[in-house]
Structure formats: C-alpha cells, structure tokens
Structure 1
Amino acid sequence: MPQKVAFIGLGVMGYPMAGYLAKQGYDVCVYNRTTSKAEKWCEQYSGRMALTPALAAQDADIVFLCVGNDDDLRQVVYGENGVLDSMQQGSILVDHTTVSASVSREVYAAAKTKNIGFLDAPVSGGQAGAENGVLTVMVGGDKAIFDKAEPAIQSFARCVKLLGASGSGQLAKMMNQICIAGVVQGLAEALHFGQNAGLDCEAVIDVISQGAAQSWQMQNRYQTMLNNQYEHGFAVDWMRKDLAIALDEARRNGSTLALTALVDQYYADVQKMGGNRWDTSSLLARLQK
C-alpha cells in the first residue's frame, strides 16, 4: 500500500507541493480553509480531501503543513480540530511554513510528548520552485525523523538538508531572506543607476551576469524589473513577515542586521505605494517614483 500523507494548506506553494507527492505515488489527503481549492486539487490529482485538519491527519504517516505564520501554525496544530490530537503515535509532522524558531521548538516539544516526530522545514524557491518541484528545503529536527521523512520531501525538492536541532531550519531560512534582501536592493540600485546614466541595461546585465555580480535575482528578475512588471513572484507582504522574524531573532541573539533593517523599511515604502502583493524585486519601483 502507498504511504499515507496529509497536506494542510493549499496556497501557491502548498498546492503544487501536494501535487508532487501525489505524482510520486503517495496516498494524499488534503485540507484547505477554502474548500473549493481542495476540491479543485482532488479533481486535478485524483486525491482525497478532509473537512478539518484533524480528519486529514488522523491516519497519515506524515502530515505536511504550509500555512501563514506563527498563529496559523499554532491553530492548525493545537486549535479546535488541530492535527496533534488526531495523529497516530510514531507519525511525523513536517512544517514548511516560514515561522519563528521559537514556535518551531515549541511544537517540537509538544509533538514529542505524544511520540510524534516534528521537523521545521521552510522552503526557498518561490512559487516557480514549487510548481517545478525544485524547492530548497532547510530542515531542523532529529536525524532519525529526518531520515524517515526525507524521501517524501524529495518529491518536490531539488535540495533537502538537515541543518541541526529543532529550529535550525527556520534560522537557516532567516539567513536566506537576509541574503535576498541585500541582493535585491543592490540589483535595484544598479538598474536605477544604469537607467539614469543612459546605459542599455539589458546589454550591461548580459555582461556583468557572467562575472562576480551574477545572482539568481539578476538572472530571473532583471527583465521584469526593467519592464515594471511586479504582479508575480514572492509578495512584499510575505517578505516583510519573514524579515520581521529575522530581525526579532537578531535582537535575541545579539546580531547586527543594519542592511536588513534598512531594506525592510524600503519594503514598507513599497507597501505605501500599493505594492503589498508585488514581487520583492519591486524595490526598483520605489527608486523610480
């Protein structure tokens, strides 16, 4: 019999991630707050759906979560019809939400009292990475639990790595977002400078992308930035949520994140421009206003 898994949260990331699990032969039961989206998923992938997280999780070997924030995670784990009380002993809970390391450690401890394994496993790669099954997954937790869950996670990932104890996956995701914030701001300023200098920015990018300035952002976002196209990708609102988590953790561990704090405020400016759902590369629009 195929391994039974549940997937809670069918947003732009979760929907294709659950789809890849079904394509790999797992018996997938999904739950989503908007029932119509779960129904659509079942039609597309011939899977099953449940009307509550608890019902989706009750007979699953692995339960995957991909929700919004710390409060959403607590609600779907502990709340009314939450998964923790219905999961069977020896099963595994894998959280792909980007949340604080503290709430991940909290859920890890709560799951352990019920003999349930827990992994914090935030992802990088955005909607395109989820749709193409090539996400990077940063994992925190116990190695024995990771070894059991890794084959299923590989269904939608290009890279999966255990990085340490519970919370380590979330800390790694914070590092990821800190790097992205600085790189996107640098690219935005470079394009802004080039436009004001009267250069052919496409030609310049063609040259400098072959050298040390190259980045994923440069390869995948410069064209849409030059065309003022931002109705796609990873939303500014989500990035500010992630940076707030990183900045809060930095205050706790004594790190200085001056550039990250500055770019976070630049994203606040983009929000004031109405760009809440724009891609994070919209930092260029702020410079052009």
Structure 2
Amino acid sequence: MDRFQELTAFVAVVEAGGFSAAARRIGESQSVISKSVGALEKRLGVQLFNRSTRSVTLTDHGRKYYERTRPLLEEMEQADGELMNSTLEISGLVRIATSATFGRLHVLPLIPELLALHPKLKLDLILSDSVQDLLAENVDLAIRVSPVYSPDAVVRRVTTTSLVCAGSRRYFEQHGMPSHPEDLQNHNCIIYNGVDSWNFVGPRGKFSVRVSGNLSSNTVETMLSAVRDGIGIGMFYRASLVGELRSADIITVLDQFISETRDVSLVWPNRRYISARVRQVTEFFATALAQRI
C-alpha cells in the first residue's frame, strides 16, 4: 500500500477524532481508512491507536509519530500549493484556542471578516480559560493574554493590555470607594484563579496587597457578572472590560497605582514547517488584534 496514503489516513484519523470522521474529511470510505492505518501499524510494528466502541485515541507511539510526521505533510501541502498556483485560495482546518472572555469580545467579532477573506477555510474555535496543550489538543494557533513560558512553542507578541481594578457604582455607593490599595483589605474582592495578592506601584515603588472576598472563580465571565451585580471589586485586563467600561455602572478605581500590562500573544507549536493556512490566519490576527485593542 502507498506510504503517502497510509500517512494521510493516519493524520486524518488523529485530527478528525475517528475513522468515520476521517473518511468524510478526505473523501474516502471508512474501510479504506481502516486498511491504510492497519497497513501502517503493521509496517511499523507498533499500535498507533487505542480503539474502543466509543473512541479512538493515540497511543504514546502514535502521539510521537504524529508529532514527527504532521510537519512533513504540511511541508508537502505547502510545496504543492506554491507550485500549483499562488493565487489559489487557502483551505482546510485551523484550530484556534483562546480564553472565553477575550475570545467572545475580540476573536469572535473578527471571524466573519476572516472567513469572508478565505471562504474555503474551516475554523475550530476553542474558548476556555484553561491553557491548552497545543500538541496534545492539536491546536494550530493560540491567542493568549498572559505570560507564555513554553520551550515547545513560538510566541509572537502583537499588542498589550493594561490591568484595571473595577467595581459597580452600586457597590461603591454601599461600601465606599477605595482611595489607596490598602483600603482593599476592607472590601469584598473577587478572586480569580486563587490570586489573592494584587500588585500596585506607588511613590516608593512596587508593592502588593493581600485581598479577600466571598467569591472566587476560574473564569473571567463569572467575575464580570459578579462585578455587574454589585458583589465586589475585581482585577481585570482592560481588554476584558471593553464593553463594560462604556457603561456608567462600572467604575475603575486606583488607576494611579496600577502600571502592570499583559502581552496579547499569538502562540503556535514549535514546528519547522507551518502550513500556508496557519500562516495566513496568524498574520490576519496579528494585524487585526493590534488594531482592535
């Protein structure tokens, strides 16, 4: 059996999540896909997938083989595209991961423009406040608003956003408005991901204030809802409050004591070869997010 056919079938099963989905994705029958993967496993002498009636998952051998061979297929796709016609529209699937609130506010509004530019493109958008493992989750591009420390990824900073401390007008009318960061110790502060030490800067330099409150969460959406409902004060990226700050009900405080910023970065797996469609999508978001934020 043709080795390229075997490899194409294997990668399709990995990225589609199953044999039936892989068959639909590349326009082959499920039996052809199964035979191709079976022939590949027989030739290599290892099992690449754990198969059950409900799911198909990679074995350790399969994961390592995918990480090594996927860039080779992408290189071939890139070479084919460059030789065939440089004006051909990019097509195929791109998986994008970003945080839920940032994605809703800044990534989703850009999707119609991106798809209008590239109608044959397919997008799988993952919105989650947890940090995705790019290789394990087959993510092509992550958009992150946080420090990124990963030797297995390429990081491209596109813009920055500042931190702000905010609460609702109703909350401040009931509990008073802090004039100094230390006043926060007497306020109900909403804790995000267990971070109960907030950083500030004053005449003597940087300092931290330990805060506490009756609500904590691992999602920015929960914090935003709590602030709107007058429960307490939260620390946010300004980019997460883009709509809220237009409302007279949301007020920022202690602005003169906050100087920290966060990078908005594009992150992708550290592969030697990146497909044309992923490069195009990366360039689109690099330009669009820098203009938007």
Q: TM-score range by the shorter chain?
A: under 0.3
Greater share of residues in strand: 2
Give TM-score scaled by structure 2 length: 0.22
Q: Which has the larger radius of gyration?
A: 2
Give TM-score scaled by structure 1 length: 0.22
Pick 1 or 2: higher relative contact order, CA cutoff 8 A, min separation 6: 2
